[in-house]
Amino acid sequence: MLRTNPEDLIRKTFAHFVDKEVKPVAKEVDEAAHFPEELFQKVARTGAFGIRYPQEAGGAGGNTTLFCIMCEELAKGMMGLAAITAMQCLMGTNFLFRYGTEELREKYWRPAINGRMVAAFALTEPDAATDLGNVSTTAVKVSDGWVLNGMKTWITNGPQAAFFTVLASTDRSKGLKGLNFFFVPRDTPGVSVSKKFDKLGTRCAEISEVAFKDVRIPWEYMLGQEGTGVSNLTSILAEIRTMTAALSLGLARAALEDSVRYAKERVQFGRPIAQFQAIQMKIAQMAVGIEASKLLTYKAARLVDQGINCTQEASMAKLFASETACTCADEATRIFASYAYSNEYPVQRYYRDTRFLLYGGGTSEILQINIAREMLK
């Protein structure tokens, strides 16, 4: 009896989904610059949002490798949709699943993985991004729980989110050891969400600021033991970076495939431009970068699945794949030449969307420093 490889099945399923449901509307959705509710629900019906959670809890029982394959294929169709999905699958719901009470999981986590609620992750602040030691959002103990005050920014899915996972300090004197994550429903008094940002790329993935003013939440809304916020974040950091590498890989593949197709069709000086060595060299370099990105990304994903510390491997994958995606998108615009400057072709969207990949999970500069530090221990 023949058995289908789960990795092949996931790839074929989402490749088909992208071809049928995403690509035909990608231009329209990007230009509208609104959260794509209809596409969001179609992704939900595939079971994607629960792909990395165990079946006994209501998820799909997949692993990081399957999650990354899904992210790669979705990003190949539309980076904005892939970003929304990644947030829903990982950062937005992870801590609630791992540390929330059964009541919270039933009321919020299950609806989120079924697409009935949108989740968001509130980590970054105006003066604290990579510098977590400068987080100024506070959570103060009171008789019946906690009171949160502070501001978060660059919150993906913020305008639509039904709840937030929020990083706050319970004791500023303890620095990083005083940081903790909290569950905050959007309808809690004192929570306010700004209008969405007007962005260069990933335009359908709406982003906003979220303010917390005297927001009172019960004791059980702390996610994890007090003082473990940074260590709990670190525990999924490799997965976040590997996922971002997979998103990068998907976009790079889209840029390459479009470039190959166009080079075969575009005729100059009496022959297709694919016959010119300058174009061939661009195509070759794009293909080599993509193949290397694939090896780095799925090596890291499999190490995560095996429970092996892969901080360095995940950092390398994210660094190389995101930079490769930028290179591929840039080269695609050069191959398309003036046509890349027109919104008629998606390569201009690839070029814009690549900037998103450079920031999430750590900038290239930070990743290089981290990799070097690991090497020089």
Identify the DSSP state of 215.
E
Q: Residues 6 or more apart from 377 whose CB is under 8 A from it?
A: none
As a whole number, mean pLDDT of residues 325-344 equals: 97
Q: Kindly indicate the confidence band of residue 130, based on its pLDDT and cuts at 50, 70 and 90.
A: confident
Nearest to 359 by CA among 154, 77, 58, 180: 154
pLDDT of 3: 63
Nearest to 51 by CA among 34, 68, 37: 68
Q: Residues 158, 206: contact at Cβ < 8 Å?
A: yes
Q: Residues 202, 248: contact at Cβ < 8 Å?
A: no
pLDDT of 1: 45
Q: How far apart are the first and last CA of the chain?
A: 50
107-125 pLDDT, tens digit each: 999 999 999 999 999 999 9
How far apart, in whole angstroms, are the C-alpha atoms of residue 224 and residue 71? 27
Q: Residues 21, 42: contact at Cβ < 8 Å?
A: yes
Beta bridge partners of 142: 145
Nearest to 204 by CA among 12, 53, 33: 33
Token pair 């449901």 is at which residue?
Answer: 21
- Quote the tokens at residue 217: 């939440």
Total length of the chain: 377
As a whole number, mean pLDDT of residues 93-100 equals: 97
Mean pLDDT of the chain: 96
41-75 pLDDT, tens digit each: 999 999 999 999 999 999 999 999 999 999 999 99
Beta bridge partners of 331: none
Would you say the pTM of this structure is higher than 0.85?
yes
Number of neighbours of residue 355 by Cβ within 10 angstroms: 15
How far apart, in whole angstroms, are the C-alpha atoms of residue 267 and residue 343? 21
210-248 pLDDT, tens digit each: 999 999 999 999 999 999 999 999 999 999 999 999 999
Q: Kindly indicate the confidence band of residue 377, based on its pLDDT and cuts at 50, 70 and 90.
A: confident
Q: Give all domains of the chain, ordered by start, each with its CATH number.
A: 6-113 (1.10.540.10), 119-229 (2.40.110.10), 236-375 (1.20.140.10)
As a whole number, mean pLDDT of residues 273-302 equals: 98
- The two beta strands, 119-122 and 163-169, are parallel
Q: Does residue 4 have a pLDDT over 80?
A: no
173-213 pLDDT, tens digit each: 899 999 999 999 999 999 999 999 999 999 999 999 999 99
- HSE toward the beta carbon, residue 45, CA cutoff 13 A: 8
SS3 content of the chain, % helix, strand, coil (to 5): 60, 15, 25
Type and span of the H or E element at 84: helix 79-89
pLDDT of 60: 94
Beta strands in the chain (DSSP E): 119-122, 138-142, 145-156, 163-169, 179-185, 191-193, 207-218, 222-223, 267-268, 271-272
How far apart, in whole angstroms, are the C-alpha atoms of residue 300 and residue 95? 22
Identify the DSSP state of 125.
B
How far apart, in whole angstroms, are the C-alpha atoms of residue 131 and residue 123? 11
How far apart, in whole angstroms, are the C-alpha atoms of residue 97 and residue 92? 10
